[in-house]
Amino acid sequence: MERDAEASFPFLASDEKSATLRNVEGLDAKSQGSSPVITQAQPKKWVHFIAGGIGGLVGAIVTCPLDVVKTRLQSDQYHKIYNKAPKSTNPFIKTAQHLRETLGVIKGLYVTEGPRALFKGLGPNLVGVIPARSINFFTYGATKEFISTNFHSGQEATWIHLVSGISAGFVTSTATNPIWMIKTRLQLNRTKGTHYKNSWDCLKYILKNEGFKSLYKGLSASYLGGVESTLQWVLYEQMRLFINKRSLELHGHNEQNKTTKDYILEWSARSGAAGAAKFIASLITYPHEVVRTRLRQAPLEATGKPKYTGLIQCFKLVIKEEGLASMYGGLTPHLLRTVPNSIIMFGTWELVVRSLS
């Protein structure tokens, strides 16, 4: 059981991790009246770095077409093109309409712009995945370890997960915003060569015509989006804890009680927990995604002035001109992408950690 659980605590030192596992999983020998749990050899930190990068890469490649569709449905220029048909007020019919719309956009992309259009922005996305995942996981784990060790007697708590998630989101957004800025611009290129031939050409164009600060457009919305990643971390931790406790109830402390099927089911449950946490967090915080895309898109008024000048102004203007429903433009492809992406990323991460360990 400990071997399964320790994958969720990759950032604690060996002795602290062992103590945390016994505390969180209810394995402390004194409270359980059983023999002490033997501490397994801990994977090296570089293992988690590589595993996180591979997980992010696999998820990004598999779900890239849905990411392109989501970005286009969030922008104003494509919002007008793809959202002509009236939507039903029935939530089930509306969901079906959004799904049909998403599949229609993918088909249209393939037919009119070619199969490569389904992977626009994949280059900067892949470049950003490894540092983004590495920074996020490392910052989250380091913050959690520091707070729990210095302010909570080495024990974990929901508020610690909350603070750690906020810290990870802030650091990750600041460090990687230019990468996602370039990815967004490339995905909004409808005609090849309109402005950008590739990521490098996009970067040069932005620096030359808009200045260095433009690389950080949408950063305020990204900080707001940190709420989503924080919620996902908190929800995932709670779900993972429940899964591990359930496994302990079924199999006890002895690893030999488990079959290959048991390991597969637990791995699937933990991966599914990551997807479920992402689904709930996305539903709650999605509007920031639309605002962030609009700010990075940087459309101009007829007078040549920027249409969107800030986070609050963008929120108000989009709702005023397009209605509240527009704040959920692209939600269906977003969920179709991020939920399986989280499942793939966390599942791949754990498999690679086990393989390299």
Report the alpha-carbon distance of residue 132 to residue 167 in Å, rounded. 13
Q: Looking at residue 2, what is its pLDDT?
A: 37
Nearest to 291 by CA among 210, 187, 195, 218: 218
74, two tokens: 């969030």
34 φψ region: left (φ > 0), alpha (ψ -120 to 50), beta (else):
beta
300 beta partners: 306
| Domain 49-241+285-352 in CATH 2.40.50.180 | no
Q: Looking at residue 225, what is its pLDDT?
A: 76
Longest dimension (CA), the chain: 76
Q: How far is CA 20 from the centre of its chain?
A: 26
Report the alpha-carbon distance of residue 271 to residue 347 in Å, rounded. 5
Q: Counting beta carbons within 10 angstroms of the beta carbon of residue 236, is it exposed (0 to 12), middle (13 to 18) or buried (19 or more)? A: buried
**In the block, which residue shows the tokens 């609009």?**
294
Rounded to two decimals, the pTM is: 0.68
Q: Which helix (H) or strand (E) holds 224?
A: helix 219-251
Q: Looking at residue 269, what is its pLDDT?
A: 93
Are 257 and 4 in contact by the 8 Å Cβ rule? The answer is no
**Integer Rg of the chain from CA:** 22
Report the alpha-carbon distance of residue 40 to residue 233 in Å, rounded. 25
What is the secondary structure of 255-270 as a DSSP string? GGG--HHHHHHHHHHH
Q: How far is CA 98 from the centre of its chain?
A: 22
Low-confidence ranges of the chain (pLDDT < 70): 1-48, 76-89, 91, 190-195, 253, 357
Q: pLDDT, tens digit, for every residue of 137-175?
A: 788 888 888 898 899 888 888 899 999 999 989 998 999
Report the alpha-carbon distance of residue 353 to residue 47 in Å, rounded. 6
Q: Looking at residue 23, what is its pLDDT?
A: 45
Q: Looking at residue 302, what is its pLDDT?
A: 83
